[in-house]
Structure formats: C-alpha cells, structure tokens
Amino acid sequence: MTATGRKYRILLISPNPLFRDGLLAWYGPQWAGRAEVVGVFSRLDEGLAALADTAPDMVILDYDDDECRRADLLQRFIQEERQAMKVVLLSLQQPDHVIVYDRRRLSASKLETWLDAPWKNFPNGQENL
Amino acid sequence: MTIRLLLADDHLLFRRGLRGLLEDMPETEVVGEAENGHEAVLLAQRLQPDCILLDIHMPVLDGCGAVALLRQGGYRGGIIILTVSQADEDLVCAIRAGADAYLLKNVTPEDLLKTIQAVLSEQAVLSPEMMRTAFNALRQNAAQGWGGLSEREWQILRAIQRGQTTAEIAAALFISTNTVKTHVRHIFEKLGVSDRRTAVTKAERLGILPPKG
C-alpha cells in the first residue's frame, strides 16, 4: 500500500514462464490487498510500451532475455517523469544478487541538508521518484 | 496421490517461485527445499521424494555431483536437472551421473509437470534446445574415444587421478619423468586446462575418466 492509500502497482517482465508464473504464485498471496500486479510481459519492449498505461510503482525485470537491452529500460527509468518507480533487475544466471534502482526526489532545502553528509540516510520527508 | 518433490537451487527467488507454482498444482507437493547439492542429498535420504528438481551450478556440491551421490546411494526416484546451462559438459555430466531429464529454466509450468510425470514413468526428457548439444556430444564421444587422448595419455591421467606423482607414474610405466611431463602437457592441451586437478575434474565430468571411487 502506498502513502496515499492506494495499492502498490507492480509490473513484471520475464521471458521465463516458470520464473514469471512462479513469482506470481509465491508473492501473489503475500501481496494480496496491498499490492497489485498491473502487467505481466515476456518481452522488454512490450513491458516498456505498457509503462505509461500501467503506471507501476515498481518494475521487476528478469533480463535473461537475449533481446533484452537493459540500457533501454534504464533510459526510460531516467527519463520517466512520474514519481516513484523502483526497478528491480534480476537474472536466473545470477543467483547471488539483484540490482535495485530506487530513485528519489528531494526538495532543494532537503538536498542541501543531505549533501552536508550524503553518506547518511536520506532525510525524512524525501519523496520517491 | 500427489507427487512428492524436492527442490534444489541456489537462486532463492527462483526456488520460492517454483515452490509456489508446484504447490498450486493439485498433482504435486513440495516436501523440501535445498540451496546446494549437499543439502539435496541429505534431504533426499531423509524425505525420500518421488522426484528431485536440481539446478546444475550450485555451491558446496553441484548438481552433477549430487546426482552421482544420489544414484550411488541407491536413490531410485526421478531426477530432473533444471538449469540455465546449455554447456555440453553439464549435459553429458548430468546424463552420465544418472539424471532422467535435462530441462532449461525457460520451460513452461505445463511442460515441467509433464516432464515430472514422464520421468516417473521411466521416460527420459531433454529440452528441445539441448537436442543438438546431445547429438554433438555423442558424435564427439564416438569419434574421440577417450576425449581425444591416446591410450598412454589416458593411463597417465588415470594415474594422476589416483594421486600418483610424476616419478611414481614414470616408474610404473617404465618411462622417464620427462616423457611423463610431455604427456601431461599434451593432456592439458587436449582438455584445454592448465593444471592436474582441473584436468582430472574435467575428464570426470566428460566421462573420460570414471568418477574417483
């Protein structure tokens, strides 16, 4: 659930049906009531095309697709004007870690405070972007 | 009666998802999860699942090693390799060790279930993408015999596997140590390795040498 009380919106992109359906099977019950899967795609280009319509808060991308160009997604992520979109990059070939991009927006005053000690956590009141 | 399954994969998200998927199927039940081959062997002994789904590349003990230990330990259930690896040596190693099926992780849930049911009916299953690899591996094996090694090179590699030193091998074969070293260099070149331990490991995986008992 987001701060505004609406359900958290998740978009899932994976070329592997076992992984895709498996994630939904495992997390679906845990997310029930608080989050909703607003789109499931096997191809990156289809998932990117659906970004505007689905307005996800988080994109989970399995980048094992040979045709998947992460640069495309990251470009879209950087350009995206909407607030609050996290991107989780994962691969079946990398069992050890996932990469999470969590973009944030700070007001100018908060930025100044944060830059005084950027190794500390973000100040309270920051907005996800 | 549901099919009792054991899952072994070091990819936590994949394993969790696979469990969720299989538990949603009325035909199957997941009785255990392991994150490496060693755990899988121990759990299989305790839980006696009908079928085990194993990844190939896992820490501590890989899928091939686990299959070999399971079969040596008398496990008679189905063993399905579920992996992203399309490497010929992984396929050959898994089949030689005693796997019943080799599936890539891009398989659909429906085909996975069919494969589970097939191996429990004594059938062997290969992902279509792996057929060419299997044929090539068979052809290569037939053409090269001992992986391209001469009989003398194979003898020396077998001696290395037993832990014999260069001097011991030379004495046993009535040849000089320099000749042994020359043979070892040729073995390395043919196997594409640079040390003795890797040569033995690779030869075992390719079935050129029997597993060290």
Question: For residue B56, what is the nearest residue in chain A, using CA coordinates?
Answer: A93
Question: For residue B16, what is the nearest residue in chain A, using CA coordinates?
Answer: A26
Residues B107 and B10 both lie in one domain: yes
Name residues whose C-beta falls within 8 Å of residue B59's C-beta, 6 or more positions apart in sequence.
B10, B35, B36
CATH number of the structural domain spanning residue A40: 3.40.50.2300
Is A5's Cβ below 8 Å from some Cβ in B?
Answer: no
User: Using one digit for the tens of pLDDT, what is the confidence trace for A76-102?
Assistant: 777 766 656 788 888 888 887 888 887
CB contact under 8 A, A98 and B21: no
Q: Alpha-carbon distance B78 to B92, whole Å?
A: 17
Domain limit, last residue, from B111, B141, B171: B141
Residues B151 and B200 both lie in one domain: yes
Domain count within chain B: 2
Nearest 5°: phi and psi at B34? -130, 150
Instruction: Give the CB-side neighbour count of residue B7, counting CA atoms within 13 A.
Output: 22
Residues B34 and B127 both lie in one domain: yes
User: Using one digit for the tens of pLDDT, what is the confidence trace for B79-110?
Assistant: 999 999 988 888 988 988 899 999 999 999 99
Q: Give the full edge-to-edge strand order of the sheet including A99-102.
A: A35-41, A8-13, A58-62, A86-90, A99-102
- Greater model confidence, B190 or B70: B70
Contact B131, B102 (CB under 8 A): no
Residues B189 and B122 both lie in one domain: no
Report if residue A43 sits inside a domain.
yes
Q: Give the nearest partner residue to A92 out of B14, B16, B24, using CB atoms.
A: B14
Question: For residue B21, what is the nearest residue in chain A, using CA coordinates?
Answer: A22
CB contact under 8 A, B21 and A16: no
Q: Mutate one of A63, A92, A98 to test the B interface: name it (highest B CB count within 10 A).
A: A92
SS (H, E, C) B17-74: HHHHHHHHCCCEEEEEEECCHHHHHHHHHHHCCCEEEECCCCCCCCHHHHHHHHHHCC
Residues B109 and B159 both lie in one domain: no
Using a CB-CB cut-off of 8 Å, the residues of chain B touching A14 are none
CB contact under 8 A, A21 and B23: no
**What is the structure's pLDDT at B154?**
85
User: Using one digit for the tens of pLDDT, what is the confidence trace for B76-87?
Assistant: 999 999 999 988
- For residue A107, the SS3 value is coil
**What is the structure's pLDDT at A121?**
63
Residue-wise burial string across B58-91, b where 16 or more C-beta atoms lie within 10 A, e elsewhere: beebbbbbbbbbbeeeebebbbbbbbbbeebebb
Q: How confident is the model at residue A106 (pLDDT cuts 50, 70, 90)?
A: confident
Q: Is the pLDDT of residue A129 over 60?
A: no
**What is the structure's pLDDT at B114?**
97
CB contact under 8 A, B108 and A18: yes
Element (H, E) at A101: strand A99-102
Name residues whose C-beta falls within 8 Å of residue A69's C-beta, 6 or more positions apart in sequence.
A44
Q: Give the nearest partner residue to B20 out of A22, A64, A92, using CB atoms.
A: A22
Question: What number is the average pLDDT over the span A29-53?
Answer: 89
Count of other CB atoms within 10 angstroms of residue B46: 11
Q: Mutate one of B62, B106, B108, B113 to test the A interface: name it (highest A CB count within 10 A).
A: B106
- Return the closest-CA partner of residue B28 out of B97, B103, B78: B78
Domain count within chain A: 1
Q: Is the pLDDT of residue A1 over 50?
A: yes
**What is the structure's pLDDT at A87?**
86
Report if residue B210 sits inside a domain.
no
- For residue A7, the SS3 value is coil
Domain limit, last residue, from B141, B161, B196: B141
Radius of gyration for the alpha carbons in chain B, expressed in angstroms and rounded: 20
Report if residue A55 sits inside a domain.
yes
Domain of residue B12, residue span: 3-141
Q: Mutate one of B5, B7, B14 to test the A interface: name it (highest A CB count within 10 A).
A: B14
Is A95's Cβ below 8 Å from some Cβ in B?
Answer: yes
Using a CB-CB cut-off of 8 Å, the residues of chain B touching A92 are 11, 14, 84, 105
Residues B28 and B74 both lie in one domain: yes
Q: Is the pLDDT of residue A123 over 60?
A: no
Q: Mutate one of B13, B15, B35, B83 to test the A interface: name it (highest A CB count within 10 A).
A: B13
CB contact under 8 A, A92 and B108: no
Domain of residue A92, residue span: 8-128
**What is the structure's pLDDT at B80?**
98
Contact B142, B134 (CB under 8 A): no
Residues B11 and B98 both lie in one domain: yes
Contact A111, A89 (CB under 8 A): no
Report if residue A3 sits inside a domain.
no
